[in-house]
Amino acid sequence: MAEYEFLLQIGLILTIGVIGSNFLKKLNFPEILGFLLVGVLLNLFFLVTENKVNFADLLDIVVAVTLGFIGFNLGSEIDWNTIKNLSTKIVVILLFESLLTFIAVTIVVYALDFPFHVALVFGALASATAPAGTAAIFWENHCIGPLTTATMFILALDDIVAIILTDLAMDYTSIVYSGHKVNLPELFLPIVFDLSASFLLGFMSGILIVYALNRVEDHGKFISLVVGSIFICIGAASILHISYILPTMIFGITVASLCKKPDIDYPTKKALQEVLGLSSPKIMEIIYDRKKNGELKTEPHQIFHEVFRLSTPVIALFFILIGVSLDLTSLMEIGLVGIVYMVVRTLAKSGGAYFGGVIAQASPVVQKYIGFCLLSQAGVALGLAVIISEHYAQFGAEAGLLGVFILNTITASTIIFQIFGPMAIKWAIDKSGESNAKSC
C-alpha cells in the first residue's frame, strides 16, 4: 500500500506542478521557473504540515533519466553537416565564456582560503549551464535566428566542457587525498575513458536505431525502441561511472546525421507549427509554395519530435522534485563563498560571452544578448554536484563535509540562478526579436 501512496504523491505533485506552472506562465514566468517555484511552495507546505516526504531515491533516478533525455534532445539539434559547418565564431565564444568562468571562479574561491581542489570544483561547476531550462524556453517561444542558433550550439558543447572540467577536478581531488604526486597520465586517463566510452556507447546505440528507422516510413512506430535505447545508455553509463548526458547526446547526433528524413505532407498551418515548432510566416510561405509547386517539404526527424513530447513530463517532474527536495535552510547558509560564486560566475559568463563575440566578430545581436542566455544553472550542475559530494564522501568525514558544503552552495545558488536566469533569457530573446510565441 505504501508504494501506491507514493505514486499518489508523485501524481499529485506533477499535476499541481503543471497547473501551477501554467498559471505562473500567464504572469510571464518561464515554464521551468514555474515548475521550480511550485516545488518550493510544496516543500514549504510539507514543512508546515510536518509531512516528511523523502524523494531522494526517486530524484536520483529522475536526474539520470532527465539528463539522458536532455542529451538526446540536444544531440537532435546537431548533425554531422552542422558539425562540419560549425562556425569558429561559436567556438571562440564557447571557449571564452566557459574557460574564463572556470578560471575566474577558481581563482576567487581559492583566494577565499579554500583548498585548491575545492576551488577547482567550484570553477568546473560554474562553467555548466542549464540545457533543459534554457532550451525549453527557446522551444516554448519558437525562437528562430542567429542568437537561438548560437545558444543551442553552446548549450550542447558548454556542458561537455563542464563535464570534462569536473572530471579533471575530481581526478585531482583523488590524487590530493591519496597523497600521490600529480601525474598527468593519472589525471587525464579517466577523462579519456569517459569521452571514449560515451562516444562508443552513443554511436553504437545510434547505429542500431538508424538501421531500424531507415526501413520504415512512420518513425513513430519505433518510439519505444528509441526510448529503450536511451534507458540502456543511461544504465550503461551508470555502470561504467561515466556521464549520463554525453552518450545520449552522441546517440542523438548519430541519429540526426544518419537517419533518413521521411517526406511528409503538411495539411494545415497548425500541424506545420506543431511538427516544426516554427511560427515565422515567411518560412510557412516558402513551404506552402513548394507544396503548391509539387515539391514535398522534408520534415525534421519525426522521432525527435515524439521523444521531446515524451520527455516533457519527465523534465517537469525533475524541476518540481528539485524544488520539493531542496533543503531550504541551505539558502540561509550560502555565506560569502556562495555570494561571491554567483557574482563572479555571472560577470565571467556574460563578460566572456560578450568579449568572445566581439573577438569572433559575431553578429551584433549575438554579442549583446548571448551572455544573458547562459546564466541559468539547474540539472547538469546539480547532478554533477551530487556526484562530487558522493566522490568526496569516500575520502573520510572531513572531505565528506566539504562535499556537502559544495552541494549545499550549488543547490542554493541554483535556486537563485533559476529565478533570475530564465527571466534574463526571456528578456534577451524578446529584445533580439527572435521570439515568435505570440504568433503561434
* Residue 334: count of CB within 10 angstroms of its CB: 19
What is the model's pLDDT at position 83? 65
Residue 246 and residue 244: Cα distance in Å, rounded?
A: 6
CB-based burial label for 182 (10 Å; 0-12, 13-18, 19+): exposed
Residue type, 10: I
And the C-alpha cell for 190? Answer: 579517466
Q: Would you write out the chain's pLDDT as a tens digit for each of its 440 residues?
A: 456 667 777 788 888 888 887 887 777 666 777 787 788 788 777 765 666 566 666 777 887 888 888 788 777 766 666 666 666 888 888 889 999 999 999 999 998 888 888 899 899 998 888 776 677 777 777 777 788 878 877 876 787 788 888 888 888 888 887 776 766 676 677 778 888 888 899 999 889 888 877 776 666 667 888 888 899 999 998 888 787 878 888 898 888 888 766 544 333 344 444 444 444 444 444 444 444 444 433 444 567 777 877 888 888 888 788 777 766 665 665 677 888 888 999 999 989 988 888 888 888 888 888 888 888 876 678 778 877 887 888 877 778 888 878 887 887 787 788 778 878 888 888 888 777 654 33
On whether the CB atoms of residues 182 and 176 are closer than 8 A, the answer is no
The pLDDT assigned to 344 comes to 92
Alpha carbon of residue 115 to chain centroid: 29
CA–CA separation, 353 vs 372, rounded Å? 9
In this prediction, residue 266 carries a pLDDT of 35
C-alpha 293/C-alpha 48 separation (Å) is: 65
Given its phi and psi angles, is residue 312 left (phi above 0), alpha (psi -120 to 50 degrees) or beta?
A: alpha
Distance CA 281, CA 425 (A): 24
DSSP 8-state code for residue 215: T
Are 366 and 357 within 8 A, CB to CB? yes
Please state, in angstroms and rounded to a whole number, the distance separating the CA atoms of residues 302 and 99: 36
For 414, the grid coordinates are 541554483
Query: Phi and psi for 185 in degrees, rounded to 5?
Result: -60, -40
pTM for this prediction? 0.72
- In this structure, how many other beta carbons lie within 10 angstroms of the beta carbon of residue 423? 18
Query: Using an 8 Å Cβ cutoff, are 296 and 263 in contact?
Result: yes
Reduced to 3 states, what is the DSSP secondary structure of residue 263? Answer: strand
* Structure confidence at residue 74 (pLDDT): 74
- CA 328, 331, 332, 338: dihedral to nearest 10 degrees? 160
Cα separations in angstroms, 437 against 42, 140, 249, 278, 429: 29, 7, 27, 9, 11
How many of the other CB atoms lie within 10 Å of CB of 179?
6
**Number of neighbours of residue 40 by Cβ within 10 angstroms:** 20
In the chain, where the domains are located: 55-262+330-439
Nearest to 298 by CA among 265, 259, 254: 265
pLDDT of residue 331: 61
Per the CB < 8 A criterion, the answer to whether 259 and 173 are in contact is: no
Place of cell 536532455: 70
Given CATH 2.30.40.10, say whether it is the number of domain 55-262+330-439: no
